[in-house]
Amino acid sequence: MFYDGTIGLIWACVLPVFLICGLFKPRMARKALSLSTRGLTKLPPSRADRPRVLVHGVSVGEIKASQSLVAALRERYEVVVSAFSDTGLQVARQLYPDLEVVRYPFDFFPLVQRFWRLVQPDFVLLMELEAWPCFLRAANRRGAPVAVVSGRITPESFRRYRMFGQIPEFERISLFAAQDQAYAARFAALAKSPDRVVVTGNVKADGLKTSDKDDPALASLRLAAGDPEFVILAGSTHDPEEVYFVRAALQASAGRAKLIVVPRHPDRSDGVAQAISELLPDSGGVERLSRLRAGDGKGSSSAVLLVDTIGELERLYGLADIVFIGGSLIPHGGQNMMEPAAQGCPVVYGPHVQNFLNETAMLEEAGAARRVEDPEGLQVALAELMGDGEMRLRMGEAGRKAVIAERGATKATLNALQERCGLA
């Protein structure tokens, strides 16, 4: 009752603010309305021989990680995909154009109830975690098993959940299919029982591309990049990492490399373009991918390419010779470094990778990644890698092999779902 009352009060205060701001930024109003389940159409009841499975991911990373699991499930089930963020929804619609994709509701009980009446899932799979009290309660009341798949929970998130005691009632979750033993131990502590926890691995590794060279869309991206001979790419960057990267890469390469910058949030592109332009008074400036596509699609090899679109990053790794992973030179926790490693790119990242401790340990043990402490260290690492082709090849191949060795989590997860949740 306390949670429902509090969350209802929050929603009553937040919704008008979103709608008023929507007068100037329509995207905010659209998001508020979709979180209220407005625009969500009722799905027909699922067939007895083809139950409906809701696969939920918070944002882009979780949605992309779901690919191998969704591919396996859709052979026998009707799959509906949900996401919370705008970018997550956009990527989900790109990856699954023939599936129903819906917005996950704000966790206020009347909205959650309406979501369940309209979508009517028979099973719910939460990618990595994302557990909300009202949603779990609604699932239990309808007899729909809920499982966390490819589960991960950082020490910081674990501490926050412990602070709230019974919320969000982890004992309502039927299965925690964790990525490793450390995550499993944390889930067991939150659920107050190890009986519903099993280690199945990281399904993300099963869905990663190890080669994109024959992708026709890659040729278009190469044209936009000016058909460069050498590419250094910064993926999923956060402010002010774009400035750190461009400055370090320019000094490391002496202008001999094509630089590509992919911000984590494309809506920052105007500010990022301005910041990078101030570093490039004598070079080719900044070109934005969206504007190149609106023209002839051909970019300059000397300009920095700013990717201001969604869903391009994994494909762009096919162009890169060296990759810097954003969210790591600032205290953000890092971003996904397995995608470039799977495609044979040597990976560099900063010290703040606490959200990807297993991945970084795996890549560093294999000799596929370099950890630097600051922007100056980034410059040194980029210069060394650019000057040593054998090192780049060795690191790239080590990363590809390390990712391939991690595969098999999807099958293990499906077996666990069959045994514990009746998902055959």
| Region at 299 (left for phi over 0; alpha for psi -120 to 50; beta for the rest) | beta
> What stretches of 179-275 adopt beta strand conformation (E)?
197-199, 231-237, 258-263
Task: Give the residue among 308, 274, 272 at the shortest CA–CA distance from 289.
Answer: 308
- pLDDT computed for residue 216 by the predictor: 78
List Cα–Cα distances, 330 to 110, 129, 306, 321, 327, in angstroms: 39, 24, 20, 24, 6
CA angle 240, 241, 246 (to 5 degrees): 110
Are 289 and 309 within 8 A, CB to CB?
Answer: yes
User: How far is 205 from 94, CA to CA, in rounded Å?
Assistant: 20
Asked if residue 368 lies in contact with residue 339, where contact means CB atoms within 8 angstroms, the answer is no
Q: Please tell me the predicted confidence (pLDDT) of residue 132.
A: 92
Is residue 322 a contact partner of residue 341, using CB atoms and an 8 Å limit? no
Residues 6 or more apart whose CB falls under 8 angstroms from that of 308 comprise 263, 266, 269, 288, 289, 290
Rg (CA), the chain: 22
Please state, in angstroms and as integers, the Cα–Cα distance from residue 337 to each residue in 38, 74, 399, following that order: 36, 28, 10
Q: Could you tell me the two tokens for 183?
A: 């995550």
Contact between residue 177 and residue 416 where contact means Cβ atoms under 8 Å apart:
yes
Query: DSSP string of 40-98?
Result: PPPPPPPBTTB-EEEEEESSHHHHHHTHHHHHHHTTTSEEEEEESSHHHHHHHHHH-TT
Query: Is 197 in contact with 188 (CB distance < 8 Å)?
Result: yes
pLDDT score, position 183: 94
Which amino acid type is present at position 207?
A: G
CATH architecture of 216-405: 3-Layer(aba) Sandwich (3.40)
The fourth-level CATH superfamily of domain 48-201+408-421 is: Glycogen Phosphorylase B; (3.40.50.2000)
Cβ-contact 205, 211 below 8 angstroms = no
Determine the distance from the C-alpha atom of residue 15 to the mean position of all C-alpha atoms in its chain, rounded to a whole number: 26
Predicted confidence at residue 266, as pLDDT, reads 92
Query: Residue 354 gets which letter from DSSP?
Result: G
Q: What is the pLDDT of residue 180?
A: 93
Res 166: pLDDT: 65
* Ranges of residues in the chain whose predicted pLDDT is under 50: none
Enumerate the CATH 3.40.50.2000 domain ranges in the chain, comma separated.
Answer: 48-201+408-421, 216-405
Are 236 and 353 in contact by the 8 Å Cβ rule? The answer is no
β partners of residue 125 = 55, 147
pTM > 0.85: yes or no: yes
pLDDT digits (tens, 9 = 90+) for 279-323: 986 667 999 999 999 888 889 988 999 999 998 999 999 999 999
